Copies of this chain bind each other. A is one copy, B any other.
Amino acid sequence: MAPVTTDLTHGARPGVPTLDEVAVLAGVSRATVSRVVNESPRVSPEARVAVQAAIEQLRYVPNRAARSLVTRRTDTIALVLSEPNSQVFSDPFFASIVHGVSAALAETDLTLVLLTARDAREQRKIARYARQGHVDGVVLMSLHSEDLLPDMLSEAAVPLVLCGRPYDGREVAYVDADNRGGARVATEHLLGLGRRRVAALTGPMDMIAGVDRYAGWVQALADAGREPDPALVAHGDFTEAGGEAAMARLLDQAPDLDAVFVASDPMAVGALRALRAAGRRVPEDVAVVGFDDAAVATTCDPPLTTVAQPLDRMTTELVDLLRARIDGEAGPTESRTCPTRLVRRASA
């Protein structure tokens, strides 16, 4: 019953123009409009100009649902924060990564979906979500050793890049900072200051960043011919409160410590407070080096000497790597480790 001629009114649908309407206005076929929109070279200049004018006039924007239905792409990637502790959400490092990825994507036509998984049930929900093809790829961050997502996603052949080296050394693309090298340099700096009892306030040991930064401290001591003293090690959880508590333990275990390498800036801020509470001066009595070069490192008292990660570069690499994998251009499991850099301030 419907007329065969193109029906542009479609009842009372509001303003949103379609490809057809652009085609009619430009005096070409739908296919040609599509080619212009998708920047195909096989379009004559005249047609291109006409179509662009029509697009402009109609304020046409392609319907993404229709497009992904046929292209099987969504132009969306998920950033999964797999972290039971919701407080970590405000960790400056994660905030920076989220912000950086978002910024890197703003340049492209990709959209960022932020997902959080607090437990195994939510991890499964996210895997399912990804398997449906709702996203073209996934960036996984804040990985703990027991996380299910790397397995579930790679099994489902979802393009995947980890932010942080995988805990178990599996074959998967990742971007990481040179945590070990950074920690080594930080510790060497403390040793170079003439400190004799350099403690380590580590991150959680079920996270690779925690493990690697600890390993860097161990290595620096070894290189200097020292044996790591267990009394000089305390484990934190990357939070300020955790750092404060761990520092208090450290002072208890090794009252004679004269320097401490702290595996994250928020923890270092907590450590500074514990040191002050214990009456130690920083850096005179105890030199402190943090990790991350978070904003707080410049504002705390004293300002923190810390290890900076190249966040911009890391987020760019993250996005590049994922895009390559989505486009199928990826090498097997290409990965990048970005150099870190010591930033000297007053605390050491």
Interface of A with B (CB < 8 Å)? 14, 16, 61-66, 68-69, 74, 76, 86-87, 89-92, 95-96, 98-99, 102-103, 106, 111-116, 118, 122, 125, 128-129, 131-134, 157, 240-241, 244, 270, 273, 276-277, 295-296, 298-301
Contact = CB atoms under 8 A, between A and B. Distances in A.
B277 A299 contact: no
B61 A69 contact: no
Contacts of A111: 113, 115, 129, 134
Contacts of A125: 106
Looking at A14, A125, A132, the one whose CB has the most chain B CB atoms below 10 A away is: A132
Contact of A74 (B65, B89, B103, B296): B65
Contacts of A299: 240-241, 244, 270, 273
B64 A134 contact: yes
A12 to B, nearest CB: 13
B69 A98 contact: no
Interface of A is mostly: helix
Nearest to A301: B273
B87 A132 contact: no
Given A86-B103, A98-B114, 10 more contacts: A16-B132, A16-B133, A64-B134, A65-B66, A103-B116, A106-B122, A113-B113, A114-B114, A241-B298, A241-B299
Contacts of A69: 63, 65-66, 69
Contact of A132 (B64, B276, B295): B64
A76 B112 CA distance: 12
A113 B112 contact: yes
